[in-house]
Amino acid sequence: MPNKKIILNDLKAIRKNKTKEEIKQACFEALFPQQATIKECRLVIENRYSVKLSNKEFSKWRKEYEAANANQSSSDAYHILVPKEDKKEDEELSNGTNNQE
């Protein structure tokens, strides 16, 4: 049977990883889109979560964020426009007059 100390250490590791994921998500959603510097990110995270993370961690997350944005913007650039169908048919569909039997 595992002793109590091992179980507590495992619990700490799980909580730490969960907190890290929350912090990473906060950076991706709020800080990085606002072009926050690594120093600003660290200050916000230290105040909000009472956790100190290394610049290396923030740099890694920033690179992931920028890579994800680069992939998204390139896929937006290759978006194919679909020609609009007959306007009259669209009006009938929106008015509910085009009944299928």
Q: What is the pLDDT of residues 45-67, one digit of tens each?
A: 889 888 888 889 889 999 999 99
Please give the pLDDT value at position 79.
Answer: 47
pLDDT in tens, 63-96: 999 998 887 765 554 445 545 555 555 555 555 5
Between 39 and 100, name the one with better pLDDT: 39
CA angle 59, 25, 15 (to 5 degrees): 100
pLDDT in tens, 10-19: 888 888 888 8
Average pLDDT estimate for 26-34: 88
Distance CA 79, CA 23 (A): 32
Distance CA 11, CA 5 (A): 10
